[in-house]
Chains A and B, each alone.
Chain A
Amino acid sequence: MIDPDIELLYAIDKALLAVMILVIMFGMGASLTLDDFKAVGRRPRMILIGFLSQFGFMPLIALGLAHLLRLEPALAIALIMIGCLPGGTTSNMFAYFARGHVALSISMTTASTIMALLMTPVLLNLYTAPFTRVIADQMAEEGSFFIPTKDIVLSLVLVLVPVCGGLILRKCSRGWAKVAEDTAGFMGMIVIVFLIVTTLGRHFRLVLGTPWQLYAASISLGLIGFLFGYWVSRLFGAHPIQQRAISLETGIQNTPVAFAIILMSFPQPQVQNDMLWLAVMYSIFIVVSSSCITLWLRKHGQFDWEVYKNTLIHGRLFGEAYQTRYPDDFLPARIAADPSQGALSGEQLRKD
């Protein structure tokens, strides 16, 4: 456990982090339109699969890891909490470069962000109960410890305020929304650098002293999430393009929300430090691991993507009635069996 006397983040850091979260969430809102919300209803099957892997598997993966690695209770709670969070907008960018279904990724982010208001507190209470009890026993003399459900919901609502602000901006001015979106993207990177510099730089001894279990947990959570998302969606018959989107969406969590919840809902220093530490680790490693996974998916998915894209463009240029037929031995069996020859039965890529 991290020494509760260490100030992992100074007050000024916390304030800065809060501003960055605000900017990022605002940018997230600015990247969305009302149509994206409506689109959620148009692809319920894939959204459901996404929902299953985001709120079904991901928290369980976190729970399993916490038990398997025998994490300290506060770390376990943080890991499970990250597992219960909605997806972030970075997943949309990664989905784009991984040749995934961007519209699906956006729909999933949108849906999970709203669902998180309910799911995150419920799942957190459900899965963290044994760990909470341990902490409560340890802190018996200082008072009681429980999962502050009300505060968590409040944090989630507060985080949604700038998202709504962004949405409104997008409605008023596309140009400025684009600027806000880019700024947020850039800010996402700055946050990582900021976290590395402030925490690792200042508390380098912590890095050396951190048990391997913590590294293992923060790295594996994302990786196992990717893996589950990829194969579970495949089991449910998703197209490779959707598989890639769901995979990334499952593994990448909205870390700014994690920081917001930790800072607002867990004021006890010994708990907060541990939780922050894990969130910092996850945030740093998830960028690296999703970049690598994206590169891999991009290369691996090039062929089915080109088939999909070509079929789609044929439809766009020659009319929806046009049937693209590739030579028999050209397509892999899975795509050849698809009557749309890879074009997802007329579903369109998000156009900007």
Chain B
Amino acid sequence: MPNSSRIHARNLAELYRLAAERFETLPAFATRQRGGVWKPVSFRELYDRGRRIGAGLIDLGVEAREPVGLFSDNRVEWMLADYGIQLAAAVNCPRGIDLTDEELVHIVNHSGMKVAFVESRGMAERCLRMRDRLPALAQLVLLDDGKGIPDGVISLEGLAQRGQARLDAGDADVDARAASIDAGDLFTLIYTSGTTGKPKGVMLTHANMMSQVDHVPIQLNCTDRVLSILPIWHIFERMFEVFAISHGACNYYTSARTLGDDLKQVEPTFMGSAPRLWESLHHRILNGVRQAHPVRRGLFHIGLFLGTHYREALFVLRDNDLRLEPVHSLKAALRKLRYALQWLVLLPWYGFFNAAVLESVRLKAGGSLKGTISGGGALPPAIDRFFNAIGIPVLEGYGLTETTPVVAVRTPENLVRGTVGPMIPQTEVRIVDFDSGELLYPNAGHPGEGRGLRGEIQLRGPQIMKGYYKDSETTAAVLSDDGWFRTGDIGMVTYNDCLKILGRRKATLVLRNGENVEPEPIEMRLKLSRFIDQCAAVGQDEKFVGALIVPDLEAFRDEGIEAETLEALNRLPEVRQKIQKEIRAAMADAADFKRYEVVKDFRLLDKPFEVGEEVTNLFKLKRHVIHERYADVIAGMYSKERA
């Protein structure tokens, strides 16, 4: 087939070599320079430099299957270091530079790494200062040597030169190492930032990653441009980058700050993304509309209306409507007939508005997006609906670090909103009751084999991790002997065989009256208000659900309520009133929320939740941190009740 550019490999080292042979000078990665110019690095260049770095690592005494640290955020040198590590058959142990001292000490010592790559001079000095707490860490390699190299540290280039010297001497160790890799060997050891407790080292094998490249249902080839915004040391982003490499697509590194610009410049065809990104794009598009000429604004809303109902009809006609209950076939046929009519009536109008209005909205997202997978958290339904209506199908997926990560994802054919799509090939799911341990799905004893019943999601497949590093006890708790992995997430299988995620067990708030409340749907609903930037629902052991809210400075500014800081803003009485109104409006839809789930009180926070503090890099709330940090505020909110 002329338009497939896919390579098959057994491990990452082989993949890197084959990619260089097949794609040669095509760009593998590109980084933004000044003035709209980007700097590409070709597959060949990456491999050649990576091979030198690999030889350099061997020269440093790194053994096969030995963990090597990589403390850096997204940059091309990250990938170079990874090439080196993989080609030396070592294990990449990555983490961003926002980690705390405690985490750093834990990761370095627990993994037993002797060599680590560090992104910046600052990071290197931090490690050197803690030298006595990191006894085994013998050598640091600096990725960014722009600000000079501290004593006892070598630069990436220095390491590559050592490797080159070794290669020049005719030593082909590095190639022998790469050839020695077994599919069951680890390619990475990821210490999860986690929403709870101490980091655990997740062991993922080459076979895990290669199964993802084989089974994740995305179509890419070497004309594709993938925009990378999520942290590379997170498995979700990492998998996409490996996926892109195996198809010869180029990864373009962007950041939250330059995203809008980069979307226009790069015109990505694919993006791995987190819900946060879609929320911000949604806000940006709506802001653009608000400022547009009234005629255009009107046209936009007509287009959106038509798009919403046109897609709705398509969903039903393609059996992609959310099915939590079995449907009688006659009823289903009648329903289809009704939607077929709706489709037919809307078609010409939608056709026109799609061309004249929605296309220009899509251009805000670069205009070339073929698809995008959202993961790392639940996508708010309204955001989901919005992007589908304007014709950018967001493929929501589901997975954990422990599952490399994708286990289920929507596809263009199975675009069932409200779910994370069907399981990917070779992946099995079962739903198990949390308390009794009863198998709910698949179970012939239940109607529909147990579809529509909620319980813990358990998974089995080629992407499930080997276990937690040096922690057989925790491993045994989540991984059964016959390969089933307990996710701790609550979910169900729908009647069109898609997986629906209902929340994380540990996030569940148990009110004083014993009612269980999932905070995530509530937070998602609240965040739809443009006045609410961030929020967290609280109420564990309390009488009602409360919310901690970070107001959106910009949104209030647009309304003419100006303040320099959140602190100043929160003192304005109209802000409190406005938020109160927004919450009441959000909660008004009684069909979605039970009475005890309604937010009854709230507090405004003077400081936004920050990455690495209250939220993870994927903007998931670290609830235990929030509860600790805002214990006083929360106590204040419930003081009357408690008294």
Does chain A have a CB within 8 A of B224?
Answer: yes
Closest partner residue, chain A, to B4 (CB atom): A330
What's the least CB distance linking A166 to chain B, in Å?
16
Instruction: Assess whether A186 is in contact with B265, with CB atoms less than 8 Å apart.
Output: no
| In the complex with contacts A310-B223, A313-B225, A186-B352 CB distance below 8 A | yes
Does chain B have a CB within 8 A of A317?
Answer: yes
Does chain A have a CB within 8 A of B588?
Answer: no
What's the least CB distance linking A120 to chain B, in Å?
28
Main secondary structure of the interface of B (DSSP, over half): mixed
Does chain B have a CB within 8 A of A326?
Answer: yes
Find chain A residues with CB under 8 A from B237 CB: none
**Docked complex Cα distance between A93 and B296 (Å):** 18
Closest partner residue, chain B, to A179 (CB atom): B295
What's the least CB distance linking A46 to chain B, in Å?
24
Does chain B have a CB within 8 A of A97?
Answer: yes
**Docked complex Cα distance between A316 and B264 (Å):** 12
Find chain A residues with CB under 8 A from B269 CB: 306
| In the complex with contacts A179-B296, A182-B299, A182-B356, A324-B37 CB distance below 8 A | no
Closest partner residue, chain B, to A317 (CB atom): B38
| In the complex with contacts A93-B355, A318-B38, A327-B27 CB distance below 8 A | no
Interface centre among B223, B225, B267, B299, by most chain A C-beta atoms within 10 angstroms, is B223
**Docked complex Cα distance between A42 and B285 (Å):** 36
| In the complex with contacts A97-B355, A179-B296, A317-B30, A330-B40 CB distance below 8 A | no
B2's partner among A96, A175, A317, A332 (CB-CB below 8 A) is A332
| In the complex with contacts A186-B356, A306-B269, A314-B27, A330-B5 CB distance below 8 A | yes
Does chain B have a CB within 8 A of A322?
Answer: yes
Find chain A residues with CB under 8 A from B224 CB: 306, 310
Closest partner residue, chain B, to A312 (CB atom): B267
**Docked complex Cα distance between A317 and B227 (Å):** 14
Instruction: Assess whether B352 is in contact with A318, with CB atoms less than 8 Å apart.
Output: no
A310-341 interface mask toward B, CB cutoff 8 Å, 1 = contact, 0 = none? 10011011110011111101111000000000
Find chain B residues with CB under 8 A from A323 CB: 25
Closest partner residue, chain A, to B294 (CB atom): A179
| In the complex with contacts A179-B293, A327-B5, A322-B222 CB distance below 8 A | no
**Docked complex Cα distance between A330 and B247 (Å):** 11
Interface residues on A, range: 20 to 34
A327's partner among B22, B293, B295, B348 (CB-CB below 8 A) is B22
Does chain B have a CB within 8 A of A185?
Answer: yes
Does chain A have a CB within 8 A of B173?
Answer: no
Find chain A residues with CB under 8 A from B368 CB: 309
Closest partner residue, chain B, to A93 (CB atom): B355
Instruction: Assess whether A330 is in contact with B2, with CB atoms less than 8 Å apart.
Output: yes
**Docked complex Cα distance between A169 and B453 (Å):** 62
Instruction: Assess whether B223 is in contact with A307, with CB atoms less than 8 Å apart.
Output: yes
| In the complex with contacts A310-B223, A317-B38, A325-B25, A331-B266 CB distance below 8 A | no
Find chain A residues with CB under 8 A from B25 CB: 323, 325
Instruction: Assess whether B26 is in contact with A324, with CB atoms less than 8 Å apart.
Output: yes
Find chain B residues with CB under 8 A from A158 CB: none
A295-313 interface mask toward B, CB cutoff 8 Å, 1 = contact, 0 = none? 0000000010011011001
A175's partner among B22, B293, B351 (CB-CB below 8 A) is B293
What's the least CB distance linking A298 to chain B, in Å?
11
**Docked complex Cα distance between A179 and B294 (Å):** 10
Does chain B have a CB within 8 A of A348?
Answer: no
What's the least CB distance linking A77 to chain B, in Å?
31
What's the least CB distance linking A82 to chain B, in Å?
23
What's the least CB distance linking B413 to chain A, in Å?
16
Find chain A residues with CB under 8 A from B223 CB: 306-307, 309-310, 326
A317's partner among B3, B24, B265, B352 (CB-CB below 8 A) is B265
A57-73 interface mask toward B, CB cutoff 8 Å, 1 = contact, 0 = none? 00000000000000000
Does chain B have a CB within 8 A of A139?
Answer: no
Instruction: Assess whether B267 is in contact with A309, with CB atoms less than 8 Å apart.
Output: yes
| In the complex with contacts A306-B269, A310-B224, A319-B37, A326-B296 CB distance below 8 A | no
Does chain A have a CB within 8 A of B519?
Answer: no
| In the complex with contacts A175-B293, A179-B295, A318-B40, A303-B222 CB distance below 8 A | no
B349-365 interface mask toward A, CB cutoff 8 Å, 1 = contact, 0 = none? 00110011101000000
**Docked complex Cα distance between A306 and B266 (Å):** 13
**Docked complex Cα distance between A306 and B222 (Å):** 10
Does chain A have a CB within 8 A of B54?
Answer: no
B-binding residues in A (CB < 8 A): 93, 96-97, 175, 178-179, 182-183, 185-186, 189, 291, 303, 306-307, 309-310, 313-314, 316-319, 322-327, 329-332
- 6 closest A-B pairs by beta carbon, nearest first, are A317-B38, A310-B223, A306-B223, A185-B356, A303-B3, A179-B295
9 residue pairs bridging A and B, Cβ less than 8 Å apart: A97-B359, A185-B355, A303-B2, A309-B223, A317-B40, A318-B40, A322-B40, A326-B222, A327-B23
A-binding residues in B (CB < 8 A): 2-3, 5, 22-27, 30, 36-40, 221-225, 248, 265-267, 269, 293, 295-296, 299, 348, 351-352, 355-357, 359, 368
